């Protein structure tokens, strides 16, 4: 789910590629570090490993909620900017042509974040 959120909320080919690469590297580092939280001296309970996993899951939930609020805030700011500058969000022709210009999510006035 997180991978789809990253792809859906990043505009521009180069920016999307770099963002996905950074996510993949972070994911791999987490998978390398994770098993070291399980100590053989704690067998069969592995308290430190379970605490580390639960902490990581709680941080993930909080981060996703913060992400959703931030994306909603950015959408409101874009809507206000479009209303101020007179950009018609419902104009499908211009919106579709803007997609071919490889604009980032910050540059494209028609881009809306999903959460």
114, burial (CB in 10 Å: exposed 0-12, middle 13-18, buried 19+): exposed
Residue 104 pLDDT: 87
| pTM (two decimals) | 0.77
Question: How confident is residue 107, by pLDDT bands cut at 50, 70 and 90?
Answer: confident
Contacts by 82-89, CB closer than 8 A, 24 or more apart: 82/109, 85/109
pLDDT tens for 19-57 read 999 999 999 999 999 999 999 999 999 999 999 999 999
Residue 94 pLDDT: 61
């Amino acid at each position: 789910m997180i991978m789809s959120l990253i792809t859906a909320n990043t505009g521009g080919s180069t920016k999307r590629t770099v963002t996905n690469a950074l996510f993949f590297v972070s994911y791999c580092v987490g998978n390398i570090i994770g098993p070291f939280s399980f100590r053989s001296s704690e067998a069969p309970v592995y308290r430190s490993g379970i605490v580390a996993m639960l902490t990581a899951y709680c941080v993930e939930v909080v981060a996703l909620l913060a992400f959703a609020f931030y994306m909603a805030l950015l959408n409101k700011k874009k809507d206000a900017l479009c209303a101020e500058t007179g950009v018609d969000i419902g104009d499908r022709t211009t919106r579709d042509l803007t997609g071919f210009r490889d604009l980032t999510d910050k540059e494209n006035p028609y881009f809306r974040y999903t959460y």
